[in-house]
Structure 1
Amino acid sequence: MPTARLAHVLVGRDSGVYKMAYREWGEPDNPKVLVCAHGLTRNGRDFEYLAQELARDFRVVAPDVVGRGESEWLRDPMGYQIPLYVQDMLVLIARLNVAEVAWMGTSMGGLIGMILAAMPGTPIRRLVLNDVGPLLAASALARIGEYLGKAPFMPTREAAEAYIRAVSAPFGPHDDAQWAFLTEVMLKPDKGGWRLNYDPAIAVPFQTGANGSDVNLWPLYENIRCPVLLTRGALSDLLSVETATAMSEHGPRATWVDFEGVGHAPTFLHADQIAVAAGFLRNA
């Protein structure tokens, strides 16, 4: 597998300046850049399998959004909000020193990409939205809120993997090696055991803003002009068939692909999932 290079870029909040980590695969001078942005509690290592396939064609860059992975935790948890993540990503793109990028985002990472792609003058030329759209189901947000920020202590890796398998069951079927990878990505050592590799305080703004209603971002989606691929778990509770259908008919008229037997969200550890994204991204 191509070796990842770990680097950091400085991002700002009212509470201070923080290091945001990112990994790169592929040739560092390749002008074709793909930024991969992870979901709410995960980190950039999620894209290692995809990067292995695409590093021949792209400089693949996967940030750890602040509060996750190798990035620093914020002093003020109210800084864990998507509009501020958007600003962080613009800083990252400036660091990469390219005029345009392709973007692939899972869940939260897709929302960040959707906002960026809707901006006038956006650097995003091609967009993959993985199991997320402009209408977020309140029931799915409530399910995520049930475990977000709990970050239990786990005495062994076996206990950690059992926990990841339970909370990540909607990811769909994976073999033992894939579950081991999905677990490894999320762990950090702690007092002789393991904890999840994110700041539990990311739950604070999530739960503060929860009001039991769907989240409607259709005006943003309608402003996107670049080609869009929408990938969806056929059993997703976050992205409904009705919303996916509307996304294929309005705004940028996304190309829509469902993955059977998967909920929220496809992990892109499977060859068929990787092939769908790779085909779209290479067709630039």
Structure 2
Amino acid sequence: MTEPRLKSVQCISPAGLHRVAYKEWGDPGNRNVLICSHGVTRVSDDFDALARALSDHYRVVCPDTVGRGRSGRLANPQFYRVPQYVSDMVTLIARVTQDEDQVDWFGTSMGGLIGMGLASLPGNPVRKLVLNDIGPTMDAAALARIGDYIGQDLRFSTYEEAKCFVRDVSQSFGEHTDEQWEKLACDVLRQDEQGRWVRHYDMGLAEPIRAVTPESCKSDEALLWAAYDAITCPTLLVRGEKSDLLSHDTAVAMTQRGPRAQLVEIPNVGHAPTFLHEDQIAIARQFLVG
């Protein structure tokens, strides 16, 4: 069975240097690279099942976005924003492609926004793009829900308490086995210096979200649509049928402008499909590999 290699690359922000950790699956000499980018409070381990399944065709690279998991933290949390993440991914892609300048991209939620930002740039390296339950227009109430969740500095005395919390707040992911829920929880939990269980990310992530105003939200939406309209590569949009972040109307609009994304909606799932299930993995394989 294929096992990942743990690596890291040094990146830079206006506040200094930081390291971005990543998991690499498949033949290290394979120049056919797929980058998998996770959601706002998740980690690279989310893609273990997808990466294992696609490593027969790709070298699959799964980074922990800075501030999460095994990656470093930013000295100034105000830089926890998509432009910084895009900059980090440009550095990562330069490291892993070794003179080959093209990659395919799979992005869940925030990871999809990073992919959109990268794929919209002139001369960008993205050959195929998968956007998992994310688009240029996001529901304000859903954003507020996510912001509240991120900013709660919760500490649990036992792993079982922490695991139950993660499962409770992740019900929108849809049905999973107990084993899958166990993995979804343990991947994002760690123990602090006092032995309490906490979520594996920098609490500073919440600071830029708290600074969002209705005016800045509208401005960001206009910028995101402009970015989406600039994308020219083949694009697959996956939407959870019950998603409260990406509306059906926005998803349909994304099939009619910009790259005219192919749309697949997954029944009985909200935000966001986890791609732990074989039928979901098959959707990604069909688009990416054929």
The normalised TM-score by structure 1 is 0.97
What's the counterpart of residue 253 of structure 1? 260
Residue correspondence of structure 1 range 170-209 to structure 2 within 5 A: 170-190=172-192, 191-209=194-212
2:181 alignment partner AA: W
What's the counterpart of residue 234 of structure 2? 227
Partners of 1:74 and 1:120 in 2: CA distance: 27
1:146 alignment partner AA: D
Shift of 1:210: 4.1
Q: Structure 1 residue 100 and structure 2 residue 102: aligned? A: yes
More deviation in 231-240 or 8-17?
8-17
CA deviation digits over 1:79-129, x for unaligned, max 9?
211101100000000001231000000000000000111111010000000
Identity of aligned residues (%): 50
Residue correspondence of structure 1 range 111-122 to structure 2 within 5 A: 111-122=113-124
Partners of 1:210 and 1:197 in 2: CA distance: 27
SS at match of 2:228: helix
- List alignment gaps of at least 5 residues for structure 2: none
2:227 alignment partner AA: L
Pairing partner for 1:236 from 238, 243, 249 = 243
1:35 alignment partner AA: I
Partners of 1:80 and 1:281 in 2: CA distance: 29
- Contact persistence 1:149–1:199 (CA under 8 A): no
**After the TM superposition, which segments of 4 or more aligned residues of structure 1 sit over 4 Å from their partners?**
212-215
- List alignment gaps of at least 5 residues for structure 1: none
Partners of 1:72 and 1:115 in 2: CA distance: 22
What's the counterpart of residue 60 of structure 1? 60
Partners of 1:248 and 1:13 in 2: CA distance: 35
Change beyond 3 A, Cα 1:220–1:175 = same
SS at match of 1:102: strand
1:153 alignment partner AA: R
- Contact persistence 1:189–1:195 (CA under 8 A): yes
SS at match of 1:209: coil
1:199 alignment partner AA: D
Shift of 1:281: 0.7
CA deviation digits over 1:180-238, x for unaligned, max 9?
00001101122223111000110001111243856522111111110001011000011
SS at match of 1:17: strand
The normalised TM-score by structure 2 is 0.95
CA RMSD of aligned residues (A): 1.2
What's the counterpart of residue 5 of structure 1? 5
Change beyond 3 A, Cα 1:47–1:151 = farther
